Amino acid sequence: MLKAERKRFILNEVRIHNRVLLTDIAETLNVSVDTIRRDITELHKERMLKKVHGGAISLGFDNIHIGRGDIYALELKTKIAQKGISLLKMGQVILLSGGTTNMEFARLIPVELQITCFTPSLPVANQLMTKPNIDLIFIGGKMAKSSQIAIGGDAINMLSDIRVDMCFLGTNSIDSKHGLTEFDWEIVQLKKAMVKASKKVVCPVISEKLHSDQRYKVCDIDQVDILLTELDPMDARLDSFRDKNIQII
């Protein structure tokens, strides 16, 4: 029995019965309780279920499981997202791009925080729908299958009518010389509109993406107000971004 198989089995059980017992699963699958415990711990970290004393229960969203089984470098992204959360103030209006970091960000927004969010990202919207205190406005348009965000004229149009306090703009690549760059032309157009629609641009990005660049440019580095990475703000890898009027957090 493969590990992945067990995990899938557990998830299915949770989906059906809404809860599982460690011992039950262990017996059913003929492996030690420790193994199941470890599986469940992983699934918990992957946010596929909730680990509780003695077993696990489903996350219990209304009708959509926002599973993020294989987010790359989830830990780092959580760290970045948390730094981002600390920037939020009650009553603010923000704009969120797509990407897994922003997903994590959306997930971590405290339930009691009352803010208005705009987003063209379907997964982010799903996430935000679970927060009763957030006013959510979806930027509509043609949905790009790969990135699950709305693109094209409609989206850009809608963005042209708004001006938000702060934009959390995920990016494919960032470099102190070439600025923010992307691989996909359509997405560049959208992100340009997002930058235009925001008073402040916050750029959450894992250190790995620093000093890399792609074909098309979204904006210059000096348009970014705040740079969020998982690194210590004093880290040497951030040196080239200093003295650019960017706040590094």
Partner DNA sequence: AAAATTATTGCACAAAACTGCATGTAGTTG
Partner DNA sequence: CAACTACATGCAGTTTTGTGCAATAATTTT
In the numeric block, which tokens belong to residue 34?
């420790």
Asked if 53 is part of the footprint of DNA (rule: CB under 7 A), the reply reads yes
Name which position in 12, 17, 45, 54 contacts DNA (CB under 7 A). 54
Asked if 45 is part of the footprint of DNA (rule: CB under 7 A), the reply reads no
AA identity, residue 173 = S
Rounded distance between C-alpha atoms, residue 197 and residue 119, angstroms: 12
Asked if 35 is part of the footprint of DNA (rule: CB under 7 A), the reply reads yes
Residue 138 contacts which entry, DNA, a copy of itself, none (Cβ below 5-8 A, type-dependent): a copy of itself
Quick one: how far is CA 196 from the chain centroid? 21
Q: 47 or 200, CB closer to DNA?
A: 47
Q: 41 or 245, CB closer to DNA?
A: 41
Q: 51 or 200, CB closer to DNA?
A: 51
Asked if 3 is part of the footprint of DNA (rule: CB under 7 A), the reply reads yes
User: x/- binding map, residues 175-194, to DNA, per CB under 7 A?
Assistant: --------------------
Q: 10 or 218, CB closer to DNA?
A: 10
Which residue, 203, 199, 207, is CA-closest to 227? 203
Rounded distance between C-alpha atoms, residue 167 and residue 180, angstroms: 14
Q: 48 or 227, CB closer to a copy of itself?
A: 48
Which residue, 155, 2, 169, 148, is CA-closest to 66? 148
Residue 31 contacts which entry, a copy of itself, DNA, none (Cβ below 5-8 A, type-dependent): DNA
Asked if 72 is part of the footprint of DNA (rule: CB under 7 A), the reply reads no
Which residue, 213, 214, 206, is CA-closest to 238? 206
AA identity, residue 51 = K
Rounded distance between C-alpha atoms, residue 175 and residue 240, angstroms: 9
Interface with a copy of itself (CB under 8 A): 2-5, 8, 15, 19, 21, 50, 52-55, 57, 60-70, 120, 122-123, 125-126, 129, 132, 135-143, 145, 148, 150, 154-155, 158
Contacts 24+ apart (CB under 8 A), 71-74: 71/46, 71/100, 71/103, 71/104, 72/100, 73/206, 73/208, 74/45, 74/46, 74/100, 74/104
Asked if 1 is part of the footprint of DNA (rule: CB under 7 A), the reply reads yes
Quote the least distance from Cβ 135 to DNA, whole Å.
Answer: 35
Q: What does the binding site for DNA look like in residue numbers (CB under 7 A)?
A: 1-3, 6, 21-23, 31-35, 37-39, 41, 51-55
